[in-house]
Amino acid sequence: MSDQDNKQLPATARKLQKAREDGQLARSRDFGHLAAIAVGGGVLVAGAPTASAWMRDLLASGLTFNASSVQNTGFMGERLLDLAMKMLMIVIPMGALMALVGIGASIAIGGWVWTFKPMTPDLMKLNPISGIGRLFSKQQLIDALKASLLALILGTIGAFYLKGHVDSFGGVLAMPLPAALSHAGSVMLGGLMLLLVALVVFAAVDVPLQKYLHANKLKMSHEEVKQEHKDIEGNMEMKAKIRQRMREVANRRMIAAVPSADLVVMNPTHYAVALKYDEAAMGAPRVIAKGADLMAMKIRDVAKEAQVPVLQAPVLARALYAHAEVDREIPSALFSAVAQVLAYVYQLRAALAGRMAMPGALPELNVPVELDPHHKPGR
């Protein structure tokens, strides 16, 4: 099975945009030919009277000679150059108009894009083996068959039209010049209209065909879509490793800060929150470390090694773990409960230093029930 057979999914917006940036757009040459010939023919028909008079005057001036001009050997070259320049004054604007119409037709089909990438040298295109593959690709075969069929149809139409109007063209020789120009123009206009009908039919087929071929060429496989998603969103495994690494760094930083805490609030086994308060530098107590399960046990062990008080206050520990962020001040709703705990710790330290009597049990803390993540309304 070929790679193209595996590509059954339509191109994503990102691939379509990249194709546009690379200059890969749906283009229809037949539509461009139709537009250019139709506009050029329309201009000729609209300007036929003026063009006929201009050509008559041009021929008259070109065929006018006198004795002095005949005797001048360089006169014929000058006359031909003058006639050629006058013809170019008509041919060049007409060619430029048809070129602009062709460009406009291409833009109408595939849109506008400004890029030099298609002109960038690609040495891989010089590879004869890959060149043979491109030569016999589906796109090339379709374009070759279509061009051959178009040439055959246009040639057939032209041949039959000329065969049917041989007498008309022959009669032009016996007419005066103004009448000959007018008659030849009308006969050629009939042939041009037949050619335009054929081009309209081909353009009507070619425009949707080119859009289909372009969309088919940009189809993607499941693996390409997955790879593009990875490129946009990033490799999920790599992101997970980065997040894990960041968590490890943050955990090490928190553990290193535990010895500087004023106290650690825990419920027996699941949560631990280390608090620090400096009246001179802080407006409220600040969380310097928190953790659950194994991290909570690690915070407890480090605190005990550093002789930081560890108090069992399950409701407060749960509320702080759920609603307080590391390196941030505690929520205002927990000020009262934390102040009670800090006051108890200061009393305990003073008692251990012999400055006051040992305090009793930790008083009941004023923790709003709605801040306890284990609280269920209605109980």
Within-domain flag for 199: yes
Within-domain flag for 247: no
Within-domain flag for 313: yes
Instruction: Say yes or no: 160 and 275 in one domain.
Output: no
Contacts of 161 (CB under 8 A, 6+ apart): 190, 191, 194
Instruction: Say yes or no: 199 and 262 in one domain.
Output: no
Helices (H), the chain: 3-6, 13-21, 29-46, 48-62, 67-71, 75-110, 128-135, 138-164, 166-171, 177-217, 222-233, 236-257, 294-305, 314-323, 335-352
Within-domain flag for 320: yes
Looking at the DSSP assignment, which residues form a beta bridge with residue 276?
286
User: What's the confidence (pLDDT) of residue 134?
Assistant: 61
Instruction: Say yes or no: 157 and 57 in one domain.
Output: yes
DSSP three-state, residue 135: helix
Which residue type is seen at 339?
Answer: A
Q: Which two tokens stand for residue 316?
A: 């407060």
Instruction: Say yes or no: 269 and 170 in one domain.
Output: no
Within-domain flag for 379: no
Within-domain flag for 343: yes
Instruction: Say yes or no: 268 and 182 in one domain.
Output: no
Angle in degrees, CA 41, 44, 47, rounded to 5: 150
Last residue of a domain, one of 167, 192, 217: 217
Instruction: Say yes or no: 96 and 203 in one domain.
Output: yes
Last residue of a domain, one of 217, 240, 274: 217
The span from the CA of 336 to the CA of 367, in Å, is 8
Q: Which two tokens stand for residue 270?
A: 């699941």
Within-domain flag for 292: yes
Q: What is the domain extent for residue 286?
A: 255-371
User: What's the confidence (pLDDT) of residue 302?
Assistant: 92
User: What's the confidence (pLDDT) of residue 277?
Assistant: 85
Instruction: Say yes or no: 259 and 143 in one domain.
Output: no
Q: How many CB atoms lie within 10 A of CB 338?
A: 27
Q: How many CB atoms lie within 10 A of CB 285?
A: 22
pLDDT tens string, the chain, 379 residues long: the values are 445 557 778 887 778 788 777 777 777 888 887 888 888 878 877 776 777 677 777 777 766 767 666 667 677 777 778 878 878 887 888 888 888 888 888 777 777 776 666 666 665 666 666 656 666 667 678 778 888 888 888 888 888 888 877 777 667 666 776 676 666 777 777 778 888 888 888 888 888 888 888 888 888 888 888 877 777 666 666 777 888 888 888 888 989 999 988 889 988 778 999 998 888 888 888 999 999 888 999 999 999 999 888 888 888 889 888 888 988 888 888 888 888 888 888 887 787 777 777 777 777 787 888 887 876 665 5
Within-domain flag for 2: no
Taking the alpha carbons at both ends of the chain, their separation in whole angstroms is 65
The span from the CA of 305 to the CA of 293, in Å, is 19
Question: Would you give the DSSP letter of residue 220?
Answer: B
Total of domains in the chain: 2
Task: Say what the pTM is.
Answer: 0.46
